[in-house]
A = this chain, B = another copy of it.
Amino acid sequence: MHVLVVEDDESVASSVMEGLATANLGATLVGSGTEALRSFAELSPDIVLLDLGLPDMDGTDVCRSIRSTSSTPIIILSARDDEIDRVVALEIGADDYLVKPFGMRELIARIRAVVRRSSTVEPESTKSLRNYGPLSIDSRSRRVTLAEVEIYFTPKEFDLLDYLSRDAGAVLRRAEILRNVWETNWYGTTKTLDAHVAAIRRKLGDPGWIVSVRGIGFRFGLPE
């Protein structure tokens, strides 16, 4: 991860650089718009922190210029706190707009949020198609195959299996499962959950796919 910081105010710049270093993010500092564009082309940073008040050119022009050739994330840092400034910045392609003075932890958090969003790699747990040995679960098409044979699951059964399998290996509490799969936190008869687990076990053949953890809930994983 490398951050390009464009900022001419030395005190702001030094605290930002320090904050980035603390968060283990590599960074390069430049103090003008022309330097910014040159460094951007040279470094191909993962994100740009851009001050709007630069000595040589308008910050929005720097932003536009970068946007014309790249979709690298840009976070605007500015002393101006008017809504119209924020709207304009976001409309010309900035990803976020932070008003000075800002906290370092918030800056880091916003950097992470923007980079997380812009890097296309999806985390394993939210992938549409997941495989567990011979078992394959595709949440996009809502189909399950075991050893290449498709097995039909009812809506609730599928939702439950899908939810449990996203956290394969972890014990999930009954209340948590009910909340997330039944989308309500009503704790009626908890036998409903048992009944659906039983149905899934029956269809998967080996009951070891879903293990009961007495007093807590259930755990999904490959049978041993």
Contacts and interface: CB of A to CB of B under 8 A. Distances in A.
Interface residues of A, number: 61
Given A141-B219, A170-B141, A41 B183 contact: yes
A22 interface: no
A14 interface: no
Interface stretch (A5-13, A68-76, A190-198): A68-76
Contact of A166 (B57, B68, B155): B68
Q: How many copies does the complex hold?
A: 2
A72 B49 CA distance: 25
Interface string A16-49: 0000000000000000001001100100000000
A154 interface: yes
Interface string A49-73: 0000000110000000100111101
Contact of A140 (B84, B142, B154, B170): B170
Interface of A: 34, 37-38, 41, 56-57, 65, 68-71, 73, 83-84, 86-87, 90-91, 94-96, 103, 105-106, 108-110, 112-114, 117-118, 120-122, 125-126, 139-142, 154-155, 162-163, 166-167, 169-171, 179-180, 183-185, 213-216, 219, 221
